Amino acid sequence: MSEPEPSNGFDPAFLEAAEAARVSLWRYDLDERRLILTGDVVARLGLPGSAAVFEIADWRARVCADDHPIMDAATRALDADRFTDVAYRVRAEDGELVWLALRGGAPAGEVGRGPVLTGFIYELGEQREAEQRGLVRERQLADGVEAGMVGIWTYDFLTGDQAAHGKILDWMGRSRDATSVEAEDWRAVTFPEDQAVMRAAHLRLREGRPVQPMDVRMMAPEGPRWVRTMGRVISHTLEGAPLRAAGVILDIDAERRFAQALTEEQARFESIYHSMPALLHSINADGLTTMVSDYWLQRMGRVREDVIGLPGWAFMDEESAERVKSDIIPRAFERGVVENEPIVSFTASGERLELRLSAFIERGADGDPVAAHGVFSDVTTLTQARQDIEAHAEALERSNRELNRFATVASHDLQEPLRKISAFASLLQRRHADGLGEESDQALEFLIDAAGRMRHLIDDLLAYSRASNRALETEAVELGSLVDAVLGELDLRITEAQARIDLCALPMVRGDRGLLRALFLNLISNALKYRKQAGVRITLSARELENGFIEICVADDGIGIDPQFSEKIFAPFSRLHGREAYSGTGIGLAICQQAAERMGGRIWVDSAPGLGARFCFTVPAA
């Protein structure tokens, strides 16, 4: 509402005449969509001053929402016909609804010209107000028949005449102008199974009793539909006998179908809930159990009837019950969800269960919590397994410490007598080079050789043990420089074997530098050792895999390996050739396998006798 101008476009003489006749005026500007009021009606609405100016949207906001269709129709009439005669309710400043009548339009002789319309506005008297209320109810009823109702029915008990209005006439195949219908018309549209219900309702009306809402099925042109009918006796004879009855028929097909779908969905949910192989448990806002799954009952060894209605914490130990009541449930209602809360519960037989509770909150239309639905994960066996694993790991760690200690002590204790055996055998050999005879000289040679091999075995065993127990130190490793350093260590053997080394660009990887060095050192050494002849060719290549690992291969054109031994060769001290042909203890490839697996990868060989060998291992990319 804006501030009014002094005259607001009204002719001063016209204002004086209206004031003398105690009649209020209105003025409507079609272009500016603005309504101006003056006179007593301004005070009746509790507005200041003697005039008020409204934008049409602001005026509509004051009109009772139920009367908006009346006002909108009047506004359209003003735009089109330049005339209106209408009554509706307007809200005063104190909230009271005031019945106002507006009449007027274009000034005489100016129809079709000019954008300004004027007229009278006044408050309706009680009688007119009652009439207008009746007209509004009548209009609303008619709108309801077309919008949501199927029709209106009436019955005259004296004549037996029946009448119907609205869409029900269309369903019966009758004209909307039909003044009466027959019992056969009703039977034609009512499902046979529901006709007895309709007859019972008719008898109730004859006895003067109202027909409470009842649902029946009727046949509409588009197919079967659910309707709800209700009614009562509206007039009686002087003796009190029923004279006339009336009622309505409402289309509730969508409501019934929705309710049916809701019922089916509820049944489906409960079926899934009960048959779910999980410990499901639901409580209401008071913490009382409302539903549990069949699996919950089976695992807890309880009966549904004995569980429903008990507090949700009734099956927990004291500490868990207190925490659920004072912390978990309030926190769940506040946040809407809880996850993996540790709970201790007991079955009916007294078995202790370690559980993890996760739950979510169901809220009503007002946003308040109405239920909590939880699932308990049974971690009893997992906890026991974890404890067993921890105990086993502790025992294994203790055993490894003892083995490491034994390996260190054993290597020292064994090396010393071996050194003495070898030293004294060599001393005897030198002192009695010509006096022991050929057989004794050969025995000493065997003794010295066996002592040396034993020392190598002990050294390799100790290296294998240390490789498996040293702390893993992963870092980004540039393989190119690492391989260059390994080739530098093997330079004399490479020269002796007249080997040709082909290198591709090697990538960065993430691994333990010491284990990677052992891998390349052993694999290249084996390629140099198991060659056919001088001039062996060794190729190093790498490619990135889709799983985030790098595959590295060391290939040669040496003597090769029979595929049946492709796994055996990685066992400690496994040899496929005699010591006379090839030296070594057979520990190198075992160390390679251990190194690859400790870095999260694996190692394998592709080979055939006489066709060389291709050893590949994987390691995480950097």
- CATH code of residue 305: 3.30.450.20
535 within 8 A of 528, measured Cβ to Cβ: no
Give me the amino acid identity at 148: G
Q: Residue 111: its pLDDT value, please?
A: 45
- CATH code of residue 403: 1.10.287
**SS3 (DSSP) at 311:** strand
Task: Mark out the alpha helices in 511-572 (DSSP H runs).
Answer: 513-529
**SS3 (DSSP) at 24:** strand
312 within 8 A of 287, measured Cβ to Cβ: yes
> Nearest 5 degrees, angle CA 293-CA 267-CA 372?
50
Structural domain total, the chain: 5
Same domain, 67 and 125: yes
Same domain, 595 and 480: yes
Assigned domain for 118 exists: yes
Assigned domain for 264 exists: no
Task: Mark out the alpha helices in 234-379 (DSSP H runs).
Answer: 253-275, 294-300, 304-307, 318-323, 329-335
Same domain, 551 and 420: no
Q: At 221, which helix (H) or strand (E)?
A: none
Residue owning tokens 């062996």: 536
**SS3 (DSSP) at 240:** coil
Q: Residue 296: its pLDDT value, please?
A: 92
536 within 8 A of 505, measured Cβ to Cβ: no
Residue 176 in tokens = 């909307």
Specify the pairing of strand 500-503 against strand 537-544.
parallel
Residue 125 in tokens = 């008297």
Same domain, 480 and 570: yes
Same domain, 300 and 217: no
Same domain, 364 and 389: no
Assigned domain for 1 exists: no
Report the alpha-carbon distance of residue 167 to residue 181 in Å, rounded: 13
Domain boundary among 223, 257, 291: 257
Q: At 32, which helix (H) or strand (E)?
A: none
Domain residues for 49?
Answer: 12-138
Domain boundary among 138, 163, 184: 138
Report the alpha-carbon distance of residue 476 to residue 510 in Å, rounded: 4
Concatenated DSSP letters of 208-249: T--EEEEEEEEEETTEEEEEEEEEEEEEE-TTS-EEEEEEEE
Same domain, 531 and 577: yes
Residue owning tokens 């006044």: 122
Across the 622 residues of the chain, what is the mean pLDDT of every consecutive 10-residue run?
Answer: 57 60 78 88 89 91 91 85 85 91 69 70 65 50 54 84 86 85 90 90 83 88 89 80 84 82 83 87 92 92 92 92 91 89 91 90 86 88 74 73 65 66 72 68 72 67 65 89 92 91 92 91 91 89 92 93 87 68 74 90 91 94 88
Q: Residue 108: its pLDDT value, please?
A: 47
Assigned domain for 266 exists: no
Concatenated DSSP letters of 337-360: EEEEEEEEEE-TT--EEEEEEEEE
Assigned domain for 239 exists: yes
Helix 126-147 × helix 68-81 angle, to 10°: 90
Same domain, 433 and 573: no
